[in-house]
Structure 1
């Protein structure tokens, strides 16, 4: 089982996002791939941006500075801006499932 833990779920732009990924199971993954991104939902054109990607091992901590150049989290009637961290366990093998966990966090102005 893949576990993704964030130290905080609301950040001020410019702060550090940090957390831990871990795996509990009989067969260990080859690696855990972590992605930090934001995306929009709602009316109009969908926009996405992957800001950072890294490979980790079980039990590793991660840390990434959320620069104040990206959009702030927003939850309106017509559009939403969603920030998220996703972790995917790369199990290896052609038919192996790759367990995934996603955590949403908020980025707010200073």
Structure 2
């Protein structure tokens, strides 16, 4: 079991906010390390784009553990949703070398509200 979540169970944040993240795991074998990735990806029509904006590597971890970290969100890009494409931010924990993952989606946008793209009339 590997879990990643925000400490206050919030899912929406302003750009530049500091987020408290809790990682919890109980794995069959002691991992060499646990990575926490903050990144975004697009979904929708066309090719998938993705980027990791910050990566924290935790070495010397136990087989079963729970830790709290703080991570500062970047200024952008903003979370958005449109008819053809959406941009989704997430916190992803990865156990190495097993590759077991856990993901927690978040919103990063002004006012803590995902930007809604609407059709522009010509």
**Per the shorter chain, which TM-score range?**
0.7 to 0.9
Greater radius of gyration (CA): 2
Measured after TM superposition, the shift of residue 3 of structure 1 is: 1.6
Calculate the TM-score normalised by the size of structure 1. 0.82
Moved more, 53-62 or 35-44: 53-62
Structure 1 alignment gaps of length 5 or more = 92-96
Show structure 1 runs of 4+ deviating over 3 A.
none
Quote the RMSD (CA, aligned, Å). Answer: 1.7
Deviations 1:43-95 (A, max 9, x none): 24432221111112432222111122x1111121111010011111114xxxx
Structure 2 gap segments, 5+ residues each: 112-122
TM-score by length of 2: 0.75
The aligned counterpart of 2:93 is 87
Aligned residues: 104
Counterparts of 1:98 and 1:39, CA distance in 2 = 19
